[in-house]
Amino acid sequence: MTALALSLVVPWCAGLVIALLDGRRRVVGWAAVAALAINLGALVALAAAVLPDDPVVVTTGDWPVGVGITLRADALGVLFALLSSLALLAATVVEVLDGVRERTFPGLVVLLAAGLTGVFLTGDLFNFYVFFELAMTAGYVLATYGGGRRELGAALVFTTVNLLGTFIFLLSVSGVYHVTGTLDMSGIAARMDDVDANAAVLIAVGFFVAFSVKLGLFPFHFWLPTVYTGARPAVAAILSGGLANIGAYGLLRFGGELLPDELDLAAGALIVIGGASIVYGGVLAVSRRSASEMLAYSAIGQVGYVLVAIGVGGPVGFAAAILYTVVNALNKTLLFLTAQMRGAVVGAAFAIGALSVAGVPPAAGFVGKLELFRATANDPALIALFVLGSALSFVYAFQTYQYDFWRGERRGKRSTIPQQGVVAALALLVLAAGVWPEPLLALSHDAAELLAGGGR
Amino acid sequence: MNLVFALAAAVLFGTGAALLLDRDLVRVVFGVVLVSQAAVLTLIASGLARGSAPIYPLTVDSVSDPLSQAMALTAIVIGLAVTALLLALVLRVVQAYRSLELAELAGLEAERDARLERLHEREHAEEEAAAR
């Protein structure tokens, strides 16, 4: 209870104060880092409380249960909140060490952390929308960070496309309220069975479109390369390692828990779209020369695996989807951060990230791919698709490594020791998750058990 | 009444979507505003009961569903804020590119990409020559 309140209130209040201060000053940057660290610490404490026992559910404002807005921390939500908070913290530390360029940056990252924590820990559908919009709005402004022409153009595309996505989400929210008469997620899950199938499918399609835009899946990906290559590396890491998690979480939560029948119905379509994402992202990433462009297309390909795993469904499929999302977010945070750094440690960290993207042991990506293969063990077509996708990722990741580090084509000044230390720590985390995967595996299986479809 | 709501929301959404596809950036912003209004209207229409204003103390039996009105209010506020943000963004883009046309923006980007591509090609050719 205390940890849950702290994880929301601290970044919220700190974000409001820091947003008013001049973020270019070192102190303010470190204050933002401290707020993010407290957020992460509170989430760790919350995870320690949630994982062994039942979810923590709090009804705000002392209202009776069923009337007040609920906050709910279960294994799935806590895992995603932890992951996003970690990505934000790492990216912010690197940027503060490098010197913040705009006064709004630290405040916005902290507010983004508040929004993300809220999204993952709310049990109320409309609150989900509000936190979602809070996180996205911070993300829109962050995309302009750096202030150059490319950043502005990218931010405009990002904002317009994602606003359309959020309003489609809002349309589905009002649909859910109308057909079930409640906004409480557990209540919706219970009442969804009695709903007319046509209405339920329409609502599900709305949610699917909204979250796919967020994730950057194949037919909804058009905004993604511009934004991820246009933004600064730290912002790209925040957007792909933190903000994009909302998409995967939404698909799992809304598909797996609230609308399991509709997810079943759409399983084939999800697998086809996921497969298209994997091939499209992989092929285009191979053709790119610069690290950030390669990573942007790689991001499209990697979320394809998550979608295929969700389409396969069942406890094994959901667990694979959750695990792969975690691994992918870690990879992307690490790789985007290294995209414009130079130094021996950076090269090693990039190599570990590249191994992880390709799914080669001992990096964490191997565990993710292994779970995917386990989920799809009796489908040769899907296995062939994963092998093709992995081969493509191996080529694009190491092609960039070869250009940038072996031949030393990367320009710019050498990164400082503390900056290299941050990416080294992230790389070690990726390695550790690959060498000792039990905690992560157990966590993702616990989280998958929670989803209604997990019992199938 | 439901039909009226549905038609109004559909017209708003359709007009908004059409404007979103326009080349003029200000029209794109108007498109987003109209789509947000379609969502707000749907929120109001999703109310479970219709009647007089739900103000306490209740004097009549049937009142409107207050929850959907509260949601619509929140959505209006959020919509206002993001519209302001979007307009500010358009202003900065116009200052940076000196153009309100999306096509020109895309053209400038394409030019830059082509320049990079030529640079890479030249580098590649030089490498090939050096290798031989």
- Domain coverage including residue A190: 1-265
Residue-wise pLDDT for A361-381, tens only, equals 888 889 999 888 888 888 888
**In this structure, are A279 and A243 located in the same domain?**
no
**In this structure, are A369 and A257 located in the same domain?**
no
Beta carbons of A257 and A450 less than 8 angstroms apart: yes
Q: Which residues of chain B neighbour A133 with C-beta distances below 8 Å?
A: 78, 82
Beta carbons of A275 and A385 less than 8 angstroms apart: yes
Rg (CA), chain A: 20
pLDDT at A454 over 60: no
Average pLDDT value for residue range A10-28: 90
The counts of H helices and E strands in chain A are 20, 2
ipTM of the complex: 0.86
Which residues 57-116 of chain B have a CB within 8 Å of chain A?
67-68, 71, 74-75, 78, 81-82, 85-86, 89-90, 92-93, 96-97, 105, 108-109, 112
Q: Which residues of chain A neighbour B20 with C-beta distances below 8 Å?
A: 160, 164
Give the helix/strand (H/E) hosting A197.
helix A197-215
pLDDT at B121 over 90: no
**In this structure, are A306 and A387 located in the same domain?**
yes
**In this structure, are A400 and A415 located in the same domain?**
yes
Place B103 in a pLDDT band, splitting at 50, 70 and 90.
Answer: low
Which candidate, A369, A370, A365, places its Cα nearest to that of A351? A365
CB-closest option in B68, B89, B120 to A156: B89
pLDDT at A436 over 50: yes
User: What ranges make up the beta strands (E) of chain B?
Assistant: none
**In this structure, are A288 and A428 located in the same domain?**
yes
Q: Which chain B residue shows the shortest CA-CA distance from A288?
A: B117
pLDDT at A455 over 60: no
How many residues appear in chain B?
A: 132
**In this structure, are A250 and A289 located in the same domain?**
no
Q: Which chain A residue shows the shortest CA-CA distance from B37?
A: A167
**In this structure, are A107 and A26 located in the same domain?**
yes
Minimal C-alpha gap between A21 and chain B (Å): 20
Which candidate, A345, A346, A331, A347, places its Cα nearest to that of A433? A331
Cβ within 8 Å, pair B35-A155: no
CB-closest option in B35, B42, B97 to A164: B35
Size of interface A-B (CB pairs under 8 A): 89
Cβ within 8 Å, pair A141-B96: no
Q: Give the count of alpha carbons within 13 A of A450, CB side only.
A: 24
Beta carbons of A367 and A441 less than 8 angstroms apart: yes
**In this structure, are A390 and A305 located in the same domain?**
yes
Average pLDDT value for residue range A172-198: 87
**In this structure, are A187 and A228 located in the same domain?**
yes
Minimal C-alpha gap between A152 and chain B (Å): 6
Which residues 292-311 of chain A have a CB within 8 Å of chain B?
none
Average pLDDT value for residue range A176-198: 86
Write down the pTM of the prediction. Answer: 0.90
**In this structure, are A207 and A319 located in the same domain?**
no
Of A227, A247, A265, at which residue does a domain stop?
A265
Q: How far is CA A108 from the centre of its chain?
A: 17
Of A265, A291, A323, at which residue does a domain stop?
A265
Residue A273 to residue A259: CA distance in whole angstroms: 19
